[in-house]
Structure 1
Amino acid sequence: MKGTNFSNPSAFTLLGFSDQPQLEMVLLLVISIIYILTLMGNTMIILVSYLNPKLHTPMYFFLSNLSFLDLCFTTSIAPQMLWNLKGPEKTISYAGCVIQLYIVLGLGSTECVLLTVMAYDRFGAICRPLHYDVIMHPKLLQQLAAVAWTSGFVESTVQTVLIFQLPLCSHHRVDDFMCEVPALLKIACGDTTFLENELSIATVLYVVTPLGLILVSYGCIIRSMLRVKSAEGRRKAFGTCGSHLIVVVLFFGTVISVYIQPKSKYTQNHRKFITFFYTVVTPSLNPLIYTLRNKDVKFALKRLLGRDSSEKF
């Protein structure tokens, strides 16, 4: 009961990059630009996928889910970061911290599962082309998407409840630019062994296992691609997977660096930049990656813009 007063502060101080004030104005400009690009790019992907009948396929259904997820993910972090960077006040309310942690954990876990589902979709398209339309029917697509979103927020609910039951130190200074589990664990005054063990289990379930399944899927995909005799056929098969594989490497690579790498490997500032990359930068890159490497999206976008222009005249 002694820790109760500590566990319910009115607000937290997000230290962020306050030890490098010369960097804050640069970050304010950079994050503003990245946030605008994220909103525009992901909204574009959703609109193009919805408005063009040719893109009403499983691949673009999941891509639209990913774009919507990235919109929510960045919006749960970037506005608070911009607010704290523009002035000396670097606080977030207790309720705001709880909500931010819940949303970030939920969306991050959902993305891990969703990227796995997208790898399964690519496996079906390349390794089971004759049965693909039968396997990936609309009802299954909805069920897979529901599993991704539901499982992500179930994990988030457990983590958020456990982390805010811990007695927290009286200074309530979070050495990060957002409310995240590793940073909040550092200001806990009680025994965190149970939560650290639970976090390890969650990391295995939502990071290691999905990544393993993705690698297995791509192992099967590569084996099928090698059986294709024509170079054009192999190039086309790789083209449908290349964008997804790049996104997987960017997202899982940075998440693993934060949650799995030994604590001594990176300084706290390095960890902040890695966290910044996968929470803010990666969502802005995803639309660019899929657009540049995907002829269908580029064609649909040009057609949509062309139609809009013709309608104006």
Structure 2
Amino acid sequence: MRVDLFDFHLPPERIADRPASPRDAARLLHVAADGALSDRAVLDLPALLSPGDVLVLNDTRVIPARLFARVGQGRVELMLHRRVAPDAWWAFARPAKKLKPGTALAIAEDLSATCVETGEGGEVLVRFDRAGADLMAALQAHGHVPLPPYIKRADDARDRADYQTIHARTDGAVAAPTAGLHMTERLFAALDARGVRRVTVTLHVGAGTFLPVKADDTDDHRMHVEDGTVSAEAAATINAARAAGGRVVAVGTTALRVLESAAAPDGTLAAFSGGTDLFITPGDRVRAVDRLMTNFHLPKSTLFMLVSAFSGLETMRAAYAHAIAAGYRFYSYGDACLLDRRAESDGA
């Protein structure tokens, strides 16, 4: 499909710089399967779900993945995006032209790395002078919260908490699964009281999430690989809920993508562990998820393409136009929407 079909104008003042406080005070736009729109609040989520539904959350934990290093007399910014060994990560470098295999990077007095390989689009493979838990501790000490580029300020101490879900458990993401940022213990308690089950999966969100789609056609765009896991227990719980008539509600496009990576053609799930570069666009059938809670996404982004596949392109264009006119807050720290999956006969 033509990428420009997914373009829209967003006034800059609609981009959220900080999250709602408390988190569950954010607004929620319900987009029904027939395209009907309803202005709600995140705290209304339990009332919009039914007993027996299962909420699927991504438990990845964001690491301080933005680093600044000295290369000779110059300075390079690294955005880690995929771990390939206990001491090695692929990263996006700026400016990448300063790096070649063997280049030393001085990040701090007690942390250094070496460029091992260079790739396309500013990608470099860097190997650190330590591994595993020691490397994670060094990143906590010297790294910065990897705020997306549309937030035009430096990260600060508040972001260490704000840009992390309360259910984060597994280190590895370099971008937050932002729909999950709306979750609170108060909301979880209300969901429990409603009879909605909760399970977790893992997809370590990569910085490729924020890369613009530069191709003119979606067929020509390359997705970066992200690593994910669906446990056998989570798969069994979701399969049982669906067999009993419950709906699968993915919290975030990342949860949806890892579920779809684990799904059979009939939508049943099996255990999954590995990399996925799944790119969902209109015309693709979503098999394992019935409803999607997600934030508002960038124009011409792979995420807006995904929600357009889920609910229909014209439906989502209308929903976003309504959200802009109604003053919803967009992107990572913004408000959310609850999408019902379109009927199979609805087309794009």
TM-score normalised to structure 1 length: 0.28
Larger Rg computed on CA atoms: 1
Higher helix share: 1
The structure in which a higher percent of residues are strand is 2
TM-score computed with the length of structure 2 as normaliser: 0.26
